[in-house]
């Protein structure tokens, strides 16, 4: 992790320096021909890329070689699978690192002239941290290997606990061929890519036409954008259904809005009975009286209801508290 931090930070900051020098242009296809204009940035990105590719004696070599050897040193199906997948990933890492270097510095200029007119090396404030990272990307792995992960190293002492069953002596048990194979794959993929760009670049369109489906698949970023759009659309559609059926449906129907709407609707229906015809009023009075009598007779003890009804009828005629306070007798 410490090794990775040095050369990865170097690559990111060097790429930022190149972008800044080219008027903030970020399209790699509009670069090219920057070797003579930005030699310092080229050296920095070359060191960072070679360390990322884990070339021998650079910082990235000591961490990647140890990780790959340790995965194979498990001598299990999962360990072997991790080893071969990591080896393939190392080959592709070398390929895209060489591609970025070639398209940025070694090929002919492909961008507009205005981007190249103001090209300049980074200032001292930007160049000094890059130089420090480059030095660590060159030498830190060689210097710090034995201190951090060397056999019998006491650097971490008791800070990290490692079970004895998990100790892997990959440095002595893994055959040399399996240690060198990731390096061979890295060099082979880099060489094939350089050969393709320098001698067989005219076959690029032919390969694209031949493998158009595969090209579209990779060019569309493995269709992850389409997958994200599909998932996002489904989530938004689910949210709309939830909002329409719950927020604007059940909750409003059973909540205060629905209750007030129901009372208002019921009041309007009752008000519609006010037709102004005496026979209609007589029928309503008769139905109300019949219903009241049925309600009273169906109760087990109607005396309490009759008492409450009588009190309700007398209540409007009783003097209120305000009338008593305002009485002239007071």
Q: Please give the C-alpha separations between residue 191 and each of 71, 187, 197, 272, in angstroms, as whole numbers.
A: 26, 6, 10, 91
Q: Is residue 325 part of a domain?
A: no
Please give the average per-residue pLDDT across 174-183, as a whole number. Answer: 87
259 Cβ contact list (under 8 Å, min separation 6): none
| pTM greater than 0.75 (yes/no) | no
Measure the CA–CA gap between 126 and 12, rounded to whole angstroms.
Answer: 12
Q: What is the predicted pLDDT for the residue at 51?
A: 92
Check whether 218 has a pLDDT greater than 80. Answer: no
Whether residue 123 sits in one domain with residue 262? no
Whether residue 253 sits in one domain with residue 301? no
Measure the CA–CA gap between 199 and 307, rounded to whole angstroms.
Answer: 110
Q: Is residue 322 part of a domain?
A: no
| Alpha carbon 262 to chain centroid, angstroms | 46
Q: Please give the C-alpha separations between residue 223 and each of 28, 137, 142, 213, 234, in angstroms, as whole numbers.
A: 21, 35, 41, 12, 17
Measure the CA–CA gap between 18 and 23, rounded to whole angstroms.
Answer: 9
Answer yes or no: are the C-beta atoms of 65 and 180 closer than 8 Å: no
Whether residue 108 sits in one domain with residue 128? yes
Check whether 177 has a pLDDT greater than 90. Answer: no
Helix axes 77-101, 176-199, angle to 10 degrees: 30
203 Cβ contact list (under 8 Å, min separation 6): 196
115 Cβ contact list (under 8 Å, min separation 6): 22, 23, 25, 30
Whether residue 145 sits in one domain with residue 131? yes
Q: Is residue 19 part of a domain?
A: yes
Check whether 238 has a pLDDT greater than 90. Answer: no
Q: Is residue 93 part of a domain?
A: yes
Q: Is residue 207 part of a domain?
A: no
Whether residue 183 sits in one domain with residue 59? yes
Nearest to 51 by CA among 17, 9, 16: 9
Whether residue 170 sits in one domain with residue 68? yes
Q: Is residue 326 part of a domain?
A: no
Whether residue 108 sits in one domain with residue 88? yes
Check whether 14 has a pLDDT greater than 90. Answer: yes
Q: Is residue 211 part of a domain?
A: no
Q: Identify the domain containing residue 154 by its residue range.
A: 2-202
Whether residue 264 sits in one domain with residue 139? no
99 Cβ contact list (under 8 Å, min separation 6): 193, 197
DSSP symbols for 122-176: --HHHHHHHHHHHHHHHHHHHHHHHHHHSTT--SSTTSS---GGG---HHHHS-H
Check whether 329 has a pLDDT greater than 60. Answer: no
Tens digits of per-residue pLDDT, 28-49?
A: 888 888 898 999 999 999 999 9
Which of 48-62, 76-90, 222-236 shows the lowest mean pLDDT across its residues?
222-236
Domain limit, last residue, from 173, 202, 231 = 202
Q: What is the predicted pLDDT for the residue at 132?
A: 95
Domain limit, last residue, from 202, 232, 249 = 202
Whether residue 165 sits in one domain with residue 41? yes
- Computed over every residue of the chain, the mean pLDDT equals 80
Tens digits of per-residue pLDDT, 90-119?
A: 999 999 899 899 989 988 888 888 888 888
Whether residue 257 sits in one domain with residue 197? no
Q: Is residue 329 part of a domain?
A: no
67 Cβ contact list (under 8 Å, min separation 6): 86
Whether residue 181 sits in one domain with residue 38? yes
Q: What is the predicted pLDDT for the residue at 129?
A: 92
Check whether 318 has a pLDDT greater than 60. Answer: no
Percentage with pLDDT > 90 across the chain: 20
Measure the CA–CA gap between 182 and 63, rounded to whole angstroms.
Answer: 13
SS (H, E, C) 217-237: HHHCHHHHHHHHHHHHHHHHH
Whether residue 237 sits in one domain with residue 197? no
Please give the average per-residue pLDDT across 313-321, as a whole number. Answer: 60
- Number of domains making up the chain: 3
45 Cβ contact list (under 8 Å, min separation 6): 11, 14, 15, 18, 100, 101, 104, 105
Tens digits of per-residue pLDDT, 111-144?
A: 888 888 888 888 899 899 999 999 999 998 888 8
């Amino acid at each position: 992790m410490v090794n990775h931090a040095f050369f990865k930070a170097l690559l990111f900051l060097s790429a930022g320096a190149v972008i800044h020098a080219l008027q903030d242009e970020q399209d790699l296809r509009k670069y090219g021909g920057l070797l003579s204009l930005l030699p310092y940035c080229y050296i920095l990105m070359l060191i960072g890329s070679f360390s990322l590719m884990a070339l021998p004696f650079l910082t990235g070599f000591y961490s990647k070689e140890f990780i790959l050897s340790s995965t194979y040193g498990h001598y299990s199906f999962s360990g072997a699978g991790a080893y071969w997948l990591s080896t393939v990933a190392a080959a592709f890492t070398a390929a895209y690192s060489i591609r970025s270097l070639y398209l940025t510095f070694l090929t002919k200029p492909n961008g507009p002239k205005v981007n190249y007119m103001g090209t300049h090396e980074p200032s001292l404030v930007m160049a000094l941290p890059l130089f420090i990272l480059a030095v660590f990307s060159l030498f830190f792995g060689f210097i710090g290997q034995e201190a951090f992960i060397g056999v019998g190293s006491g650097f971490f002492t008791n800070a990290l606990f490692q079970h004895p069953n998990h100790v892997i002596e990959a440095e002595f048990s893994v055959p040399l061929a399996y240690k060198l194979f990731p390096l061979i794959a890295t060099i082979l993929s880099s060489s094939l890519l350089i050969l393709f760009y320098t001698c067989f670049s005219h076959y690029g369109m032919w390969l694209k036409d031949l493998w158009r489906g595969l090209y579209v698949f990779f060019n569309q970023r493995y269709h992850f954008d389409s997958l994200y759009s599909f998932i996002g659309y489904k989530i938004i559609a689910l949210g709309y259904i939830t909002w329409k059926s719950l927020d604007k449906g059940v909750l409003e129907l059973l909540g205060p809005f629905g209750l007030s709407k129901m009372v208002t609707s019921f009041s309007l229906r009752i008000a519609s009975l006010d037709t102004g015809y005496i026979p209609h009023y007589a029928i309503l009075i008769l139905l109300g009286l019949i219903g009241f009598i049925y309600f009273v007779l169906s109760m087990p003890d109607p005396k309490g209801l009759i008492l409450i009804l009588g009190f309700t009828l007398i209540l409007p005629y009783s003097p209120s508290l305000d009338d008593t306070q305002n009485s002239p007798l007071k």
